[in-house]
Structure 1
Amino acid sequence: MAARTRRRANAMAARTRRRANAADASRRRRLPMRLTLPVLLLAALMAMLMLRGYVHSEILADHRIRPEAASDRVPEKILDGGPVIDTRGGRTTSLRVPDRHVVLTFDDGPDPAWTPKVLDVLKKHHAHAVFFVTGTMTSRYPQLVRRMVAEGHEVGVHTFNHPDLSYQSKKRVDWELSQTQLAITGAAGIRTSLFRPPYSSSADAMDDLSWPVTEYIGSRGYITVVNDRDSEDWRKPGVGRIVRNATPGAGKGAIVLMHDSGGDRHQTVQALDRLLPRLQQQGYTFDNLTEALNAPSAHTPVAGPGLWAGRAWVLLVQAADGVTGVLVVGLAVIGASVLARFALMLWLSVVHARRVRGRRFCWGRPVTEPVSVLVPAYNEAKCIENTVRSLTASEHPVEVVVIDDGSTDGTARIVENLDLPGVRVVRQENAGKPAALNRGLANARHDIVVMMDGDTVFEPATVRELVQPFGDPAVGAVAGNAKVGNRDSLIGAWQHIEYVMGFNLDRRMYDVLRCMPTIPGAVGAFRRTALERVGGMSDDTLAEDTDITMALHRDGWRVVYAERARAWTEAPESVSQLWSQRYRWSYGTMQAIWKHRGAMLDRGPSGRFGRVGLPLVSLFMVVAPLLAPLIDAFLLYGIVFGPTQRTIGAWLGVLAVQAACAAYAFHLDRERMTHLVSLPLQQLLYRQLMYVVLLQSWITALTGGRLRWQKLRRTGVVGAAPGAAGERQAA
């Protein structure tokens, strides 16, 4: 009994473990929320583009036209009969319009420019007509079809996107019919039994290729309507010629072919205004088809699910057209802004380089007094020794204060065991980087304070170059030149391009504009009095470096860029680590912008950042990157659906501009150009990752989410600062 009980218990435990393992596996397979929403938004964008392309005949359109063929298999009574052909239920009959009756028919619409004018002329002369509409145009302009029906005109199916049906399969024919009916239902709440094939002519032009299509169309419940008189208005032969072509002979009835779409139709409108009163004076009446034939209406009201499906379709098309229209405008604005930014960066970078590299340039008196270097460290055991040793080799006198923020890997003990002169360790419980920097500031002995990360390595001249701008008493902070030390991997090379081009070229521009948005955490220096006046480092945001920089601007201090103050930092080496870092940066920047939004109302010199810097940062660091995926979405769309050559040419043009900017930035930083080989791949892959990260940051901000500071895993791969000969070429 006991053994049986134990077996049951073990079996139940095994089942519980299997269910738990299955649940864990399901959770592992589930797409993370940080990816789900961005992916859904991007998928929705692509769906809208596809729908727009579909209703604009850019997708699934077939513009082939088959040449005329023999007519051996077409019944004689069809070839010799009238323009109304009925093959429903196995019939093979045709009808003519009675004498003194004219049925005006208009193909290819509705058109937003010309269909209203045609309808106005018909209304003016109390005439009815038949409009053979395409599904694409009906989906886009449903209000015009609604007006046609309301004013007593008939509508017929002219296929969805105007293919030659003799090329198409029965499945495609059914699709053309059903999609057009769906659009007509959504527009006017009806179905129609009238059909006109594209590229059709008179009944005697029916051949062995078009006749089987006509028979099949009849089996689907449609009456095929061709014409007696072709106005040839599509040729634009002149108003008089159109009137003559459309006029029946000797009092005969006729179905007249005209067009209300497909180009400039002003001759059609003028001819119609002349034709109608002339023939009415001769006793003609202008009816729709069923009126002329004294037949039941071709329109059948639709209700229930069919009506709602049609309305939903029209709403979707309208939404896709509206949204993509706005996106196209946004793309144009963003594209122009980005190109303008590139031009501004290049110009102001030249200005900056000439100014700071001029022989007579001087910040003021040379700064030679010792400075305090603060190194906040949390679990930096793999990097901290390289960091501290690089500081003790400084050409400028420094005291080094390592603030151990509750490390659990022995970071503080490693520094203490080095027993280096001028290096102190301050321990505190884990409280975050801002708190660690404030603790270090309280323990600093000097008036100028340098801040750096625990994974960063300075060159011997870095501190000296970093503090020279403080010779100008208006300078409150200095941004150094952060460089990627582990650039040998593909991800590292991409970040290297980003640092040199995206960050340092930007800093040169912002320096000239006097609105530097960020002192990089890897290498920055501050005047102690300036920090104390703004209350020190704040933990209000996840971008404490951006936050403090904006605060200094608002307090009236000048923030500048020291290009020769190079620091080598370890960039993330995996996609997940890069994601975590950039997610924090993006979200923290948004927080800082929101926190200092009042800067736009600041007065005096301190208001310059709010008037210039904050709008530029908001546009180019938050708004433009969010809309930039449009470039890639339209690129993909253009490559697949055309115009392919122009699309690729435009993309290569933008890439060439970016390459020129990157090459100039590398030249300014004396970097080897070889890393730019990966620039095209960076634009195709790395940039997309940054988009999704920014989109996730937006979603977090808009939903009120909170993001914690995340510690990146370090490898200590960046040892001593790379030598000038090994990593930089002469200018």
Structure 2
Amino acid sequence: MRPKGHWILLLLTGLALFAALLIDGFAAGQVGEGVERPGPAGGRAPAAATRAGPVLNLTDGTLRSTRPAAGTIALTFDDGPDPVWTPRLLDVLRRHGAQATFFSVGSQVARHPGLARRMVREGHEIGSHTYSHVDLGNTPSWRARLELDLSQRALAGATGRGTRLLRQPFSGTPAALTGAQWRAAKAAAGRGYLTVLTDRDTEDWARPGATAIVRRATEPAGKARARPGAIVMLHDSGGDRRETVAAVEEILQRLSARGYRFTTVSEAIGLRDGNPRASFTAQAAGKALVLGQRGSGWVVGGLTALFGVAAVLTVLRLVLLLVFARMHTAGVRRARRRRARRRADPYLPPVSLIVPAYNEEAGIAATIGSLLDTDYPGPVEVIVVDDGSTDRTAEIASSFTGIPGVRLIGKPNGGKPSALNTGIAHARADIMVLVDGDTVFQRDTIGNLVAPMADPRVGAVSGNTKVANRGGIIGRWQHIEYVIGFNLDRRLFDVLQCMPTVPGAIGAFRREALASVGGVPGDTLAEDTDLTMAVCRAGWRVVYEETALAWTEAPATLRQLWRQRYRWCYGTLQAMWKHRRALVERGASGRFGRRCLSYLSLFQVVLPLFAPAVDVFTVYGLLFLDPGTLALTWMFFTVMQALAGWYALRLDGEPARALWVLPLQQVVYRQLMYLVVVQSLVTAVLGARLRWHTIRRAGTFGGTPDTPVRQSVP
């Protein structure tokens, strides 16, 4: 099967994001060789080199060196350009009419091309300091070539010029030249570069104070001469350069008073042009590099912010769920005490149990049997609506019609909402319980489910759906999701009085509430969510009764799970869009919209939509950043999820041993659910219509509901 276009687009987007991360990571030195410190010295450079002048020319294979002319000072600044300190240094130089040479990092030039253009415009010179500040002496040859080429491209793209000057990161005076740096200098000479060292290393990177920086810059090294020329090493990036800015001001004043002239390295050594104009091709390639790196920087910045926002929102959601679960538990206890005081006059209304069924032969017998096997003392009728099944559903259901209170209604296939509305029209009671054809009740479920209806303000009650077939890993994942996700959410929605969904598997409705919204809607694929939202907007309370248990058969394969969740998610999006006006309305409808729809939009649409990008960032981090930090972060969130899961399982009376599948669920199942959201959103945006996806039943209850039905309430 050919993949759909949006999946190809999603894959390409993921690859583009990863490529952007790689580009930005390479520029920051996170991808490839380390850049924090130089590697082994690799022996010593030849004596002739260590005694040479600060500018080494090896382009013809022999060592020639030179020094600045007498009376000239070439101030050089490494590691920039920096958006804070480089402009301040340029301002100081402009006030004194001085020129300098900036050995700039190519990636920084690409990030701040305007600063590079200002340097050239004001008569300064730019040399290469590699692209990502790597130690060329301890870098593979291919990486060294790439560093130099990319640095040239960045300079050409930003300024339209190239450079013939190179200063290796971590280099200093000729006397400190290592064997590895000497070999790198020879390799660079083969590409036309002059290696520029320094006469006076101020070591301003260590922030020794402005006075020490001035002293090192103004005291001539070696044998004193009359106004000797010198190359002075400073830095315009790499940290707080406040001391450097102050020192440069004093250096210019003090040495100008001695008659020194401040110029570029090229002019100081008599080089014709250190920044020749780049070719059109080089400029075009450079502009593409600058644009690509800046774009990558924006992408990485966005992903970093997104990662942080997602982390904060995830923690906030977990905290809210736990706090509101606690509040809900306290409220349930109070309600139970009130009901206990009314035992003399118990609330036992007649109840109609409506079961819409389409091709449910695998479980319909267990469903009907569990509804009949109830300890509810009030009048109960069971209405099975066969929605044009093509299997033995009607035959099996008809075998129960001899039992008083059981009716079978047949109709042509018209969809679940149509079947429900048919059952509602034939129901005799004012309290109706809607039950899926693959669900079984416990003996006390009906009584627990209708008990909250004693409050006339309650229009609907959501029961507690349990996964019956939780034997395999997929079943266990869904069990965790039902308990931690769905049920914790329902407790929060109950407290906030904005329940979005009474599940189709188990829900009680008051006839008056159903009539007020026109019955079960049929224009969305999530009729239970659509109906519940309409009931809430109509002013009815919808509550969650955790003791009303129903056991349902969950999808047993990933394909079936995908089909089910795709329908659920798409239908929920339809319902949210249908009820969007609740966001701006007043009263109960507005309260529901601003509380529930905002929550659903943020946590079930927006965050899942961007979650794949966060996952791409996480994979990149594990490969190229500090994996320990990311592992600790992942463990922190997993532990928080586990604590929330433990509390949710405890509230539901479930054993905590189910949590062993949680870490794997975070890696596999969560991504599957995110992709479901992406698929649903694409379908909605494209305006495509989604058919009702039926799920093949495995017959979990096997027609013998005794085991799940007879289980006691935890």
CA separation of 1:132 and 1:518: change in aligned 2, threshold 3 A: same
Q: Is 1:62 equivalent to 2:34 in the alignment?
A: yes
Please, which runs of 5 or more residues in structure 1 have no aligned partner? 1-27
For residue 91 of structure 1, report the CA deviation from its aligned partner. 4.1
CA separation of 1:293 and 1:356: change in aligned 2, threshold 3 A: same
Match of residue 597, structure 2, among 603, 608, 614? 614
SS in 2 for 1:31: coil
Match of residue 242, structure 2, among 266, 275, 278? 266
Give yes or no for contact 1:55–1:139 (8 Å, CA) kept in 2. Answer: no
CA distance in 1, matches of 2:619, 2:401: 59
For residue 226 of structure 1, report the CA deviation from its aligned partner. 0.7
For residue 204 of structure 1, report the CA deviation from its aligned partner. 3.1
Give yes or no for contact 1:248–1:254 (8 Å, CA) kept in 2. Answer: no
Q: CA RMSD in A?
A: 2.2
For 1:378, the aligned partner's letter is Y
CA separation of 1:629 and 1:456: change in aligned 2, threshold 3 A: same
CA separation of 1:45 and 1:361: change in aligned 2, threshold 3 A: farther
Give the equivalent residue in structure 1 for 2:323.
347
For residue 554 of structure 1, report the CA deviation from its aligned partner. 1.0
Match of residue 635, structure 2, among 633, 652, 671? 652
Q: Is 1:131 equivalent to 2:102 in the alignment?
A: yes
Give yes or no for contact 1:99–1:253 (8 Å, CA) kept in 2. Answer: yes
CA distance in 2, matches of 1:582, 1:70: 65
Give the equivalent residue in structure 2 for 1:356.
332
CA distance in 1, matches of 2:712, 2:128: 69
| Alignment deviations for residues 513-538 of structure 1 (CA, whole Å, 9 cap, x no partner) | 11111111111111111111111121
| Alignment deviations for residues 111-139 of structure 1 (CA, whole Å, 9 cap, x no partner) | 22211111111122221111111123223
CA distance in 2, matches of 1:106, 1:528: 81
Give the equivalent residue in structure 2 for 1:255.
231
1:253-652 mapped onto 2 (5 Å cutoff): 253-358=229-334, 360-362=337-339, 366-396=346-376, 397-421=379-403, 422-629=405-612, 631-652=614-635
Match of residue 203, structure 1, among 153, 158, 174? 174
Give the equivalent residue in structure 2 for 1:220.
191
Match of residue 137, structure 2, among 137, 142, 166? 166
For 1:519, the aligned partner's letter is V
CA distance in 1, matches of 2:165, 2:506: 75
Give yes or no for contact 1:85–1:223 (8 Å, CA) kept in 2. Answer: yes
For 1:191, the aligned partner's letter is G
CA distance in 2, matches of 1:319, 1:653: 32
For 1:97, the aligned partner's letter is P
CA distance in 1, matches of 2:441, 2:713: 19
Give yes or no for contact 2:401–2:407 (8 Å, CA) kept in 1. Answer: no
Give yes or no for contact 2:55–2:66 (8 Å, CA) kept in 1. Answer: yes
Please, which runs of 5 or more residues in structure 2 have no aligned partner? 221-225
Single out whichever of 493-502 and 360-369 deviates more from structure 2.
Answer: 360-369
CA distance in 1, matches of 2:255, 2:406: 105
Give the equivalent residue in structure 2 for 1:10.
none
CA separation of 1:607 and 1:311: change in aligned 2, threshold 3 A: same
For residue 227 of structure 1, report the CA deviation from its aligned partner. 0.8
For residue 273 of structure 1, report the CA deviation from its aligned partner. 1.2
Task: Give the TM-score taking structure 1 as reference length.
Answer: 0.91
For 2:383, the aligned partner's letter is V
Give yes or no for contact 1:557–1:606 (8 Å, CA) kept in 2. Answer: no
For residue 229 of structure 1, report the CA deviation from its aligned partner. 1.1
Give the equivalent residue in structure 2 for 1:151.
122
For residue 87 of structure 1, report the CA deviation from its aligned partner. 1.2
| Alignment deviations for residues 46-88 of structure 1 (CA, whole Å, 9 cap, x no partner) | 33333332222212132452455654x6262x43332111111
CA separation of 1:229 and 1:722: change in aligned 2, threshold 3 A: farther
Match of residue 179, structure 1, among 150, 153, 157? 150
For residue 169 of structure 1, report the CA deviation from its aligned partner. 2.6
CA separation of 1:388 and 1:70: change in aligned 2, threshold 3 A: closer
SS in 2 for 1:419: coil
Single out whichever of 280-289 and 557-566 deviates more from structure 2.
Answer: 280-289
Give yes or no for contact 1:38–1:696 (8 Å, CA) kept in 2. Answer: no
Give the equivalent residue in structure 1 for 2:223.
none
SS in 1 for 2:198: coil
CA distance in 2, matches of 1:115, 1:722: 79
CA separation of 1:278 and 1:520: change in aligned 2, threshold 3 A: same
| Alignment deviations for residues 332-356 of structure 1 (CA, whole Å, 9 cap, x no partner) | 2232222122112112212212221
For residue 496 of structure 1, report the CA deviation from its aligned partner. 0.0
Give the equivalent residue in structure 1 for 2:24.
52
| Alignment deviations for residues 447-504 of structure 1 (CA, whole Å, 9 cap, x no partner) | 1111121111111221221111111111111101011010000000000000011001
Single out whichever of 431-440 and 38-47 deviates more from structure 2.
Answer: 38-47
Number of paired residues? 700
For residue 199 of structure 1, report the CA deviation from its aligned partner. 1.2
CA distance in 1, matches of 2:34, 2:275: 29
For 1:458, the aligned partner's letter is F
Give yes or no for contact 1:104–1:288 (8 Å, CA) kept in 2. Answer: yes
Single out whichever of 578-587 and 628-637 deviates more from structure 2.
Answer: 628-637
